[in-house]
Amino acid sequence: MRSPRPQAWAPAALAARGAALQSLLTETEALWAPKPFEDLSPPWAETHPALMAFLDGLGDEALTHFEAAPDDLRLALAPWVPALAEAAPLLVLPGSTTAPSGVAVSHVSARKRAQIEAFINALPRPEAETGIDWCGGKGHLSRALHQWFGLRLCVVDKDQALLTAGQALAKGLPLRFENRDVLRGPSAPLEAHSLFALHACGALHDAALTAVIGQNLPSLALAPCCYGLHRGATGHWESWAATTTPSAAFDASALRLAVADLATAPAGVRARRTRELELRQAFDAFQRATWGRNAYLPCPSFPASVIDGGFEAFAQAAARHHGLALPSPIDAGRWLALGRSRAALARRRSLLRLAFGRLIELRIIFDRALWLGEQGRNVAVSTFCDRSLSPRNVMIKAWR
């Protein structure tokens, strides 16, 4: 049995949710904006000493749990930050209640297969017989949509290698694969299509929204992801909706915070992340002592070979990036030990920021949903799967 047409949110309800989220984020910015990883003594440490003591006293098991469970984290921090308790109703969304479809998706991981199935379960039958799989890569979603709805789909992506692989997988199916950079605007009309976007990142899902409105497509089903990607040099996000006050803007750091939880990260990924944090903290302590700086020196992402090479390899790569000359010799053991100690504190104190990530995410989503409503669309916002399957589990549906 397919999901029925969702109940549209009233424009006033979308605006009210967005305004409430923005108000709370504005009031608490002094708590979530500082980055303990760059400054181990954030300003809130002086105003919230008991909170600092609680965070610093967390054991490793509790730390790991809270990094992957923001709901539990907000509950734990609420005694010191009442705004987190007030935020709880703002984070509640309706969810999909349909039974599993049984869609068989091949050539994907079990987790991705389950995400695709959950996404399709949450869809009503599309009004159009054709569809666009936005930034669809190899067309895994398209093959499932064709199987379940009988749709003819066009998979749009800028990566020709993915499209070529997708064509091989879709042999015999009525799917087209089109090489297109959606950030440069659609190169051909998209009329009479429904648009589907499962985890389109950042500006890519914004481009989907403008394509739907600009070409008057019948419907949209969008699960946003990675809000900071593809946003140009500044990496900033700005609100579009005209009827929510106040308006909002988030910098790159806030956008990364919106997707920082580790709910589905494998143990190996977490271990590598911890190792990298330790190396970055070790280098920060080293560069302050070596060159007399009193500020965090950001470093780019380095390949796994650098992370696995230990402190000296990391320091060489970081110094080379910044055009600095390393002294010789380097007491790698000393700096790595200090880095581990500093990283342990930074991770614990950064939990306060992490507690606000979902609020930032939903503020972004409700802004875009309200904007769609302002363009004359019916809009629904809901979850389509449990966050244990994907933390980016919110779907925006819009239809004429």
- How far apart CA 206 and CA 372 sit, in angstroms, is 11
Give the tens place of pLDDT for each residue, 330-381: 999 999 999 999 999 999 999 999 999 999 999 999 999 999 999 999 999 9
Task: Output the six-digit token pair for 64.
Answer: 């790991």
**CATH class of the domain whose range is 110-260+359-399:** alpha beta
Do 400 and 373 meet the contact criterion of CB atoms below 8 Å apart?
A: no
If DSSP codes are grouped into helix, strand and coil, which group holds residue 275? helix
Residue 399 pairs in a beta bridge with 219, 378
CA dihedral 236, 240, 245, 246 (to 10 degrees): 10
Residue 265 banded pLDDT, cuts 50, 70, 90: low
- pLDDT tops 70 at residue 263: no
Exposed e or buried b per residue across 8-46, where buried means at least 16 C-beta atoms within 10 angstroms of its C-beta: bbebeebbbbbbbbbebbeebeebbbbebbeeeebebbe
| Mean pLDDT taken over the chain | 91
Q: How far apart are the first and last CA of the chain?
A: 23
Q: What is the CA radius of gyration of the chain?
A: 23
pTM metric for this prediction: 0.92
Q: What is the mean pLDDT of residues 157-179?
A: 94
Domain ranges of the chain: 110-260+359-399
Mean pLDDT along residues 263-273 = 74
For the residues 40-67, what does the mean pLDDT come to? Answer: 95
> Which amino acid makes up residue 105?
V
pLDDT of 1 reads 44
- Residue-by-residue DSSP string for 145-214: HHHHH--EEEEEES-HHHHHHHHHHTTTSSEEEEE--GGG--SS--TTEEEEEEEEETHHHHHHHHHHHH
For residues 230-240, average pLDDT: 87
CA triplet 260, 74, 39: central angle to 5 degrees? 55
Query: What whole-number distance in Å separates Cα of residue 381 and Cα of residue 241?
Result: 15
**Confidence (pLDDT) at 100:** 54
Return the sign of the alpha-carbon dihedral for residues 118, 146, 381, 74: positive
Say yes or no to pLDDT of 123 above 80. Answer: yes
What span, in angstroms and rounded, lies between the C-alpha atoms of 271 and 277?
A: 10
CA angle, residues 138, 142, 143, in degrees to nearest 5: 90
